[in-house]
Structure 1
Amino acid sequence: MSCRQWLGKLTIVCALGALTAPLAAAGASASTGPEAQNRIVISTSPAAPSAAGATALAACNRYNRTALCWNTKLTVTVLKKKVVVGRLYGTITQSIKLNTKNRAFSESFALKTDRIVGNAGGIRANVAASCGTGCKARTKGLSGTLVAGRTIKGTVSYADGTRRVHAARTTYRMTLVKAGYTPGVPTWRSPIDFRCDNLLKGQKAGCVFPRFTPSITSLRSLRFIAPNIRKWQGRGAPKTLHRNSHLTNGNRRAVCGKAKLPKGWKAPKGWPTPLSDPKNKPSCDEYAFAGTNQGGSRAGNGYGWVPKRENDSQGAQLKNFYYAHRVLDATSSKARGDAFNVAM
């Protein structure tokens, strides 16, 4: 008896019961000759990668804003006249690295043959890849005979030609051929979407993995703004925000529109002087940020007074962060832009 199931969007063909039970070959052709009962059947067990640190992947099966690594366990079953005569066990390791300022990026691909049992030698593999409309994926070195203890290494080069935004996953197709057997042709997809865009004014197009939420940490260095943000986060304001510049003016008016300095206000220790300098005058600093879906007069939000030069610096740091991580703006006041964390 055979069964089909879906795991991580990879087609898996599995056998239940005795090893001599009939199995359907993945991607097998409707042959009527001797090869109809001689088949290669593939079973795959892909890992589900989890979010990693912002700057580096400590191990495989992780992803961040610009890098993704995952591996897949591969079992190849060889059947002759419907009888299992051999098995091959392997590991596929794939690693994609994106470029935030270029729509060309690359992937390393390694297929290691861990073990061969019985008559499973002489199998030749060839891998092809595609990445959706407007995107080209070219493989190099991804073919060869599977030999125990050896690794077939190659690359996939990507060039995404979309003018605005293109989100997709790579689709892979591996053809496993053995003389006298119907080939096995498994297909699978990369576990998460990549996204390329050309929407940041003044910066070249580039690509990211939008599932990863980046964190801004540079605001910790701002002497007066940092404690203000920590204060409101501690009172319930969200740490994860969504960029939406369409809401900036309304949110700012709702929080700082009628804000007034307390009577008898005096500049605290460390405040830049002289106060006659416009850049040193008190400025209303709201949190959550006005240019986000979470800004405005919502529960937990509030404001504090900071030097205007520091408030200006915060705005510049936010813009630089958005561009560095391709945090896209919302398309309207009712939509949500990319998420990001404010780490204090």
Structure 2
Amino acid sequence: MTATSIVDPALPGSISAATTSWTIRYTQMGSAPSEPAVYASEPVRCDTATPNAAAGCVLSRFTPTLTYTHARNGELAAHVADAQASGLPGSPLHSPLTRQTDPELITKNRAVACPSSRPRPPGDECDEYPFASTNQGAFLGEGYSRRMILKEDNRQGGTELAVFYLDNRVINFDPFNVEVTAG
């Protein structure tokens, strides 16, 4: 069996979704063939819309989860955990976050939550949750949390979020969860 993607890698931003099905009839010498059995795949989305990535595919019904740990992400993990405990979305036990890729909207989300006029103690940066790169961010969403956290923790968390988006092919409006563990 051969499968071919209908996404053209030469067309950036291309997105397609499909399922595959197989119809199989079982036969045995001297017997009539069986009734057809139909097998279908999970819905699959293929795209060239993931920034900085080659064409690829994901299972459409799978919602990926980004994991931050207190051990690795320190103050950022504590901020996310506290924000989720206050009722903000994104936890696997709550409604997921959805990705936003429009640079203007991301900038507006960040400007509402962490305006440049807010003082930042030396060595700290302003962290916002839900992330500026989501449709639940401060400008687009219905509530947010901000906290001054260690610059290193904020940058590490941002790097992990960018890698997560890339590795899981999270594109505009795709849902995802965020969990915080002790780890």
Q: Same fold (TM over 0.5)?
A: yes
Q: What is the CA deviation profile of residues 14-46 of structure 1, one whole-angstrom value per residue up to 9, with x for unaligned ones?
A: xxxxxxxxxxxxxxxxxxxxxxxxxxxxxxxxx
Q: Note the C-alpha offset of 1:290.
A: 1.0
What SS class does the counterpart of residue 195 from structure 1 fall into?
Answer: strand
Q: Residues 267-278 of structure 1: matches in 2 within 5 Å?
A: 275=122
Question: Is residue 163 of structure 2 the alignment partner of residue 320 of structure 1?
Answer: yes
Asked if 1:243 corresponds to 2:88, the answer is no
CA distance in 2, matches of 1:342, 1:259: 29
Secondary structure of the 1:310 match is helix
Change in 2 beyond 3 A, CA 1:321/1:219: farther
Q: CA deviation at 1:161?
A: 4.3
Q: What SS is found at the alignment partner of 2:157?
A: helix
**Residues 1:159 and 1:218: Cα distance change in structure 2 (over 3 Å):** farther
Q: 2:133 aligns with which of 276, 279, 291?
A: 291
Q: Secondary structure at the match of 2:88?
A: coil
Q: Which runs of 5+ in 2 are unaligned?
A: 9-13, 91-95
Q: Distance in 2 between matches of 1:260 and 1:186?
A: 67
Structure 1 counterpart of 2:178: 342
Alpha-carbon distance, 1:293 to partner: 0.8
- Higher RCO, 1 vs 2 (CA within 8 Å, ≥6 residues apart): 2
1:227 matched to which residue of 2?
78
SS in structure 1 of the partner of residue 107 of structure 2: helix
Q: Does 1:310 align with 2:153?
A: yes
TM-superposed deviation, 1:177: 4.5
1:186 is the counterpart of 2:36:
yes
Match for 1:249: what amino acid?
T
* Aligned counterparts of 2:153 and 2:137: Cα–Cα separation in 1: 19
Change (3 A) 1:169 1:187: farther
Identical aligned pairs, as a percentage? Answer: 30
Deviation string 1:234-284 (CA, Å, 9 cap, x unpaired) is: 11110221000222111112221266248xx6xxxxxxxxx4xxxx3x211
1:172 to 2:22 alignment: yes
Corresponding residue of 2:11: none
Q: 1:208-244 deviations in whole A, cap 9, x for unaligned? A: 1121111111354211111111111111110221000
What is the total number of aligned residue pairs between the two structures?
165
Equivalent residue for 1:252?
A: 110
Q: Is the 8 A contact 2:51 2:166 kept in 1?
A: no
Q: Which secondary structure does the structure 1 equivalent of 2:3 belong to?
A: strand
Aligned equivalent of 1:158: 3
Task: Give the CA deviation at 1:207.
Answer: 1.6
SS in 1 for 2:25: strand
Report if aligned partners of 1:173, 1:185 keep a CA contact under 8 Å in 2.
no
Residue 57 of structure 2 corresponds to residue 207 of structure 1? yes
Q: C-alpha distance in 1, partners of 2:109/2:60?
A: 26
Q: 2:85 and 2:31 mapped to 1: Cα distance?
A: 69
Q: How big is the alpha-carbon RMSD for the aligned residues of Structure 1 and Structure 2? A: 2.4
Q: Match for 1:227: what amino acid? A: A
Tell me: CA distance 1:342–1:158, structure 2 relative to 1, closer, same or farther (3 Å). same
Structure whose residues are more often helix by fraction? 2
User: Given residue 162 of structure 1, which amino acid in structure 2 is its aligned partner?
Assistant: V
Unaligned stretches of 5+ residues in structure 1 = 1-137, 139-156, 266-274, 331-336
CA contact (8 A) 2:21 2:41 kept: no
Equivalent position amino acid for 1:233 in 2: Q
Instruction: Give a deviation string over 1:136-194, Cα, whole Å, max 9, x none.
Output: xx2xxxxxxxxxxxxxxxxxx4332422222111111113456585x555252425201
Counterpart contact for 2:50–2:170, Cα < 8 Å: no
Which residue does 2:93 correspond to in 1?
none
Secondary structure at 1:222 match in 2: helix
What is the distance in 1 between the residues matched to 2:16 and 2:58? 11
Larger radius of gyration: 1
State the TM-score, normalized to the length of structure 1: 0.43
